[in-house]
């Protein structure tokens, strides 16, 4: 097996068995500029048009060009050894103005003009207004610097707001390769960034190669090729000892080692000097040698009378207690999706009898309260569907739970207590499905929020709080555990309806135990209805036909 750059290879031991990191040095990159050629604005406009066309085909919708803009341009720089990054890539904002050219005599009007985020046609389009430090880099000709340009596209209208980062182009440059071997300590380099369906270190889809834009009938690119080029100055902050430049010239590393210093001949010291050097007294020029010897004699006499200091007894070390971090909710596994599809749980549809859009419970999305307040679907139907449950092996093995019921605490509604559900496991690898006494799978509880006065408060509750579900043993009436249901991704953000398939960890009643005792699989949904659309009493054909399967709290008991 070939050796891996960044890991030292040993003769007797495989280097992957006990890997040793190759000594690393630090470097810096300065004067970073990104150029698009003489037609920067035209190239960026064509990129936006291509992205908009791709979104229209993917979503089967009509997105408007005036609502799509580039919210952020970023440059990622990482050190790669051909297998993986040596450290996490650095991410820097790209600016359309160079703050380094602003002087004290610049006017405020000029500063505002240069701070624009729009590209300008010219030799340089984007800048990095700071020096970039690269702390972990190995002096190996196979190590490369990876440059990636990433755009964040934002689309916003009255109904929705979404963002998506897209990789525009990437390139690689070897700082210790043959092209930079003569002046590794200070190099001015230029790297062309390419795109298209080429494998890249990020493993992400990249925008099409800009050279394909020239194939169009547009005469803008008849004289120059559309391409992205990054220019920078690279220099080493710290060199390894065997690679520092010495007076021996630029020969091989073995020839540039500094000569070993000759050992000095040690002369024997006088006996009096040895005695004085062993004392802890500082050297005082006004003190004679005789006075020094007298003080030594006095110190020896005092040590004979003084008792030695007793070392305090140290007890045994306390055991280190590591608190296991709480597990977070997860999306449905493949096994749970198969169980949900096979048992034909009750479907929850929107007002158009269509499936709601599925959200990722782990995706962190910024909430836009302006979009939520202006939503014409001002009535919100919140659904909690109980699907399956699994009790872990280490949790109370002496008891077998066959039936459970739930108590739900949500917003300012009164606590809702469900009927008993039967736990039935169809296969060993699957969790136990929750069945009603008539054999139908799942149980749905529904909350309707149609109060205009509490609308803003309810949105803030969804954004920052959670619902609490207690799981009880129906036979012994003992509490099994508690689940906390995240609600942030239930905000519709201008959509007709959204739904989540989540696995919630169940935590026991012991406060010192942070380890979950089980798992509860649920489906959550938020369906929007207009005030005049009859949304107070129906949510789709399947639910209309199974109104008896839905539990509702008493709306008159909403706590104030």
User: For position 497, which CATH number holds?
Assistant: 2.60.40.150
Same domain for 546 and 447? Answer: yes
Same domain for 92 and 197? Answer: yes
CB 441 within 8 A of CB 423: no
- pLDDT computed for residue 542 by the predictor: 43
Same domain for 189 and 51? Answer: yes
Is the residue at 357 inside a domain? yes
Is the residue at 459 inside a domain? yes
Lowest mean pLDDT segment, chosen from 235-244, 277-286, 368-377 = 277-286
Q: What is the rounded average pLDDT of the residues 274-301?
A: 55
Is the residue at 202 inside a domain? yes
Same domain for 63 and 165? Answer: yes
Q: What's this model's pTM, rounded to 2 decimal places? A: 0.42
Residue 328 tokens, joined: 């977070």
Instruction: Provide the domain limits for residue 218.
Output: 7-243
Summarised one tens digit per residue, pLDDT across range 131-156 is 888 887 888 888 888 999 988 888 88
- pLDDT computed for residue 194 by the predictor: 83
Same domain for 526 and 377? Answer: yes
Question: Total domain count for the chain?
Answer: 2
Is the residue at 409 inside a domain? yes
Q: Please state, as a whole number, how many other Cβ atoms lie within 10 Å of the Cβ of residue 335.
A: 14
Buried-exposed string 94-116: b where 16+ CB fall within 10 A, e elsewhere: bbbbeeeeeeeeeeeeeeeebee
Same domain for 236 and 337? Answer: no
Is the residue at 92 inside a domain? yes
Same domain for 219 and 94? Answer: yes
Same domain for 232 and 351? Answer: no
- Choose the final residue of a domain: 216, 243, 270: 243
**What's the whole-number average pLDDT of the chain?**
75
- Choose the final residue of a domain: 223, 243, 263: 243
Residue 127 tokens, joined: 């800048």
Phi/psi of residue 340, nearest 5 degrees: -65, -40
Same domain for 335 and 233? Answer: no
Same domain for 239 and 339? Answer: no
Q: What is the rounded average pLDDT of the residues 446-463?
A: 87
Same domain for 344 and 224? Answer: no
Residue 176 tokens, joined: 């210790």
Enumerate the H helices of 325-437 as residue ranges. Answer: 334-343, 369-373
Q: Please state, as a whole number, how many other Cβ atoms lie within 10 Å of the Cβ of residue 140.
A: 18
Pairing relationship of beta strands 479-486 and 330-331 according to DSSP bridges? unpaired
Is the residue at 270 inside a domain? no
Is the residue at 320 inside a domain? no
More confident residue, 546 or 349: 349
User: Half-sphere exposure of 405 toward its Cβ, with a 13 Å CA cutoff?
Assistant: 12
Is the residue at 306 inside a domain? no
Q: What is the rounded average pLDDT of the residues 314-320?
A: 62
Q: How much of the chain, in percent, has pLDDT values that exceed 90?
A: 20
More confident residue, 336 or 273: 336
CB 74 within 8 A of CB 145: no
- Choose the final residue of a domain: 227, 243, 259: 243
Same domain for 231 and 340? Answer: no
Band (pLDDT 50/70/90 cuts) for residue 410 is very high
| Short-list 144, 98, 143, CA closest to 122 | 98
Residues 6+ apart with CB under 8 A from 333: 503
CB 124 within 8 A of CB 161: no
- pLDDT computed for residue 85 by the predictor: 85
Summarised one tens digit per residue, pLDDT across range 380-399 is 999 999 999 998 754 444 46
């Amino acid at each position: 097996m070939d050796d891996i750059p960044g890991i030292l290879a040993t003769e007797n031991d495989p280097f992957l068995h006990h890997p040793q990191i190759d000594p690393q040095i630090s470097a810096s990159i300065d004067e970073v500029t990104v150029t698009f050629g003489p037609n920067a604005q035209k190239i960026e406009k064509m990129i936006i048009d291509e992205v908009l066309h791709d979104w229209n085909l993917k979503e089967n919708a009509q997105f408007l060009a005036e609502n799509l803009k580039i919210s952020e341009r970023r440059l990622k720089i990482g050190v790669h050894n051909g297998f993986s990054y040596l450290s996490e890539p650095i991410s820097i904002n790209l600016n359309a103005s160079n703050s380094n050219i602003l002087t004290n005599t610049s006017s405020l009007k000029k500063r505002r003009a240069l701070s624009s985020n729009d590209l300008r046609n010219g030799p340089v389009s984007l800048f990095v207004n700071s020096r970039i430090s690269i702390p972990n880099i190995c002096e190996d000709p196979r190590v490369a610097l990876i440059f990636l340009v990433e755009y964040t596209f934002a689309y916003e209208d009255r109904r929705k707001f979404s963002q998506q980062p897209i990789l525009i182009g990437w390139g690689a440059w070897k700082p210790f390769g043959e092209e930079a071997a003569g002046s590794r300590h200070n190099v001015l380099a230029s790297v062309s960034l390419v795109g298209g369906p080429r494998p890249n270190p990020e493993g992400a889809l990249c925008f099409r190669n800009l050279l394909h834009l020239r194939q169009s009938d547009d005469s803008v690119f008849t004289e120059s090729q559309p391409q992205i080029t990054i220019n920078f100055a690279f220099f080493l902050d710290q060199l390894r000892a065997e690679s520092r430049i010495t007076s021996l010239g630029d020969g091989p590393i073995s020839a540039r080692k500094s000569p070993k210093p000759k050992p000095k001949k040690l002369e024997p010291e006088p006996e009096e000097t040895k005695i004085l050097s062993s004392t802890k007294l500082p050297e005082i020029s006004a003190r004679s040698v005789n006075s020094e010897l007298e003080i030594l004699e006095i110190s020896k006499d005092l040590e004979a009378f003084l008792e030695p200091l007793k070392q305090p007894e140290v007890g045994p070390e306390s055991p280190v207690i590591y608190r296991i971090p709480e597990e977070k909710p997860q999306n449905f596994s493949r096994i749970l999706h198969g169980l949900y599809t096979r048992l034909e749980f009750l479907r929850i549809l929107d007002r158009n009898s269509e499936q709601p859009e599925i959200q990722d419970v782990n995706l962190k999305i910024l909430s836009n309260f302006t979009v939520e307040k202006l939503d014409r679907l001002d009535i919100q139907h919140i659904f909690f569907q109980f699907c399956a449950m699994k009790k872990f092996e280490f949790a109370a093995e002496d008891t077998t739970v066959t039936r459970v019921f739930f108590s739900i605490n949500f917003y300012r509604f009164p606590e809702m207590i469900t009927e008993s559900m039967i736990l039935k496991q169809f296969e060993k690898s699957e969790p136990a499905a929750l069945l009603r006494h008539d054999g139908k799978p799942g149980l749905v509880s529904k909350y309707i929020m149609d109060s205009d006065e509490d609308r803003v408060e309810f949105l803030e509750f969804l954004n920052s709080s959670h619902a609490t579900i207690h799981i009880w043993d129906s036979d012994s009436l003992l509490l099994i555990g508690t689940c906390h249901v995240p609600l942030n991704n239930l905000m519709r953000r201008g959509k007709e309806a959204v739904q989540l398939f989540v696995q919630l960890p169940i935590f026991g009643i012991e406060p010192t135990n942070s380890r979950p005792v089980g798992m509860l699989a649920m489906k959550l949904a938020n369906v929007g209805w207009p005030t005049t659309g009859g949304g107070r009493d129906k949510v789709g054909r399947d639910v209309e036909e199974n109104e008896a399967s839905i539990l509702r709290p008493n709306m008159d008991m909403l706590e104030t």
